[in-house]
Amino acid sequence: MDILRTISSPADLRAVPAADLPQLAGEIRAFLVDSLSRTGGHLGPNLGAVELTIALHRVFEVPILFDTGHQTYVHKMLTGRLDQFDTLRTRGGMSGYPSRAESDYDWIENSHASVALSHADGLARNLGRVVAVVGDGSLTGGMAWEALSSIASDQVPVIIVVNDNGRSYAPTVGNPLAVLEAAGIPVHGPVYGHDCGEIEKSLKNASLHDAPLALHIRTHKGHGYPHVLNDELHHSTGAYDPATGIGRTGGETWTDVFSQELLSHFSHRDDLVAITAAMPGPTGLAPIAASYPDRFRDVGIAEQHAVASAAGMARAGQHPVVAIYSTFFHRAFDQLLLDVSLHQLPTTFILDRAGVTGSDGPSHNGLWDMALCSTVPGLKLAAPRDARTLRLALEQALDVDDGPTVIRFPKGEAPQRDGRPESRELDAPGVLDLLAGNPAPNDVLIVGIGAMADIAVGVHDLLTDVGIPSSVVSPLWAAPVPAVLIDLASQARHIVTIEDGVVRGGIGSLIAESLDDAGHDLPVQRFGVPTVFPSHGSRAEILAYCGLAPGTIAEKVVLRLCR
């Protein structure tokens, strides 16, 4: 790391002789492969952006915005944060995305695709020239197209650097460059993206223009590390062996369970179609794409279009299954509300990575889906707590024919309940299950929503230790609130709700409102995520930070009961 260790700012980078830049690029790649093998992170995108990022900081001293923000690791290395990489994505450590708290070189904290051009449009109108680096499929998003129209029509001085690696998570759909040309923005290139001198020369030529223009840079995701090339599994990776690129394996994930169960339904349901927004692999739809290509659609990074298109499919007699990360689902709320629910169209939405996701930070936590979905008329929302209830939820959702269904589940391994006593059903399958205790009048009723069921049982155990009788129930379908849950809660002296979404307007609030509507004046103590943007860290650390550890909850319940 002879050269890399001498660089703490772009000014230092500009002092490096041009002949030494290939060596610097090699040092950066070696550092990335070694460091991320321990912490995990977005390896492939950053290996592909090494020479481009070097050239950008050598040529420009104006704001540089990256879309998406996961391709900024090299940018961080060249702006004084090299020594922080051992803390990448850990609690209190360096973020995996741009962070204004870390550096003045990070202008925006973006991590959702297709937004940087809009930021650039606003900045450039006031500050002058701005550079926007768009890549990993971000030009497939409609918001980027709207920004391009604005930039072109008003001749806003934005230099658009298209980091064209042909992929987001998966191969890019459509022809993003045609959008630039259609907007009237001249496109220069293509330029080979792994030659520092060639890129730097092209960027210097671009810097001479006052009008908007685009520079087409062709790069290879994972360049220089053969174990990553064209492997969408290494878009973002956990810890791995740097010699082989093979990561650590765990048990069956929630996504695995969903994927296998959906595939089984596709085999005997000709009306099913699957839709995703640039993420067939991460959302579990890759097996559907392989086995039923004529019943699968990847619309690119265009969640609004995905949902509205699904509405059209449902209107034509199909049952769409739309799989999207919870954090990206917010973009399509209007379409869910007015294009699907208003029309009472049978469409199933799978919200992967719901709740606290952890290491990817505030923009990737799926904390708002339950609060949003609980306001949608006619929508049914399921929060399975383990692999068995996920399979049950999907089976039931696919039979709903009068409106949308939503199934949300977290990141990571799905509990199997092996070796544990089966829960007792208090109603029809999937309506309400008793997990601990025996409901009785004047007891505490603890409602564990989805993946928080285990924490709810932990609270029950702690209350039992101090002589407070309680029971734990878990509704598979959390919204609307099952009538049997309201009947059971009406007999308790105190109700506790625990969820891994925002507590304001969440399922706990919905239960309290439902009890009030039924004429029951009962205390409901709600536990969930406060109105904050939790930073990055492990799921357990973030849950503890939000007060969602069994000990913390039990202590607050005891204090309330002792008032």
H/E element, 551: helix 550-561
76 annotated active-site = no
Tokens of 80: 């004084």
331 annotated active-site = yes
Catalytic site residue from 58, 76, 167, 221: 221
Dist CA 499 CA 447 (whole Å): 9
* Residue that has been written with the tokens 């908007």 in this structure: 212
Cis omega (within 30 of 0) for bond into 480: yes
Q: Are strands 187-192 and 272-276 parallel, antiparallel or unpaired?
A: unpaired
DSSP 272-328: EEEEESS-TTTTT-HHHHHH-GGGEEE--S-HHHHHHHHHHHHHTT-EEEEEEEHHH
User: 109: how many CB neighbours lie within 10 A of its CB?
Assistant: 17
- Give 419's contacts (C-beta < 8 A, 6+ positions apart): none
Catalytic site residue from 27, 51, 232, 303: 303
Burial 371-398 (b: 16+ CB within 10 A, else e): bbbbebeebbbbbbbbbbbbbbbbebbb
Catalytic site residue from 29, 81, 129, 331: 331
Q: What is the DSSP letter of 240?
A: B
Dist CA 156 CA 213 (whole Å): 10
Cis omega (within 30 of 0) for bond into 327: no
Dist CA 179 CA 254 (whole Å): 37
Residue 276 — φ and ψ, nearest 5°?
-145, 165
Give me the active site residues, please: 221, 303, 331
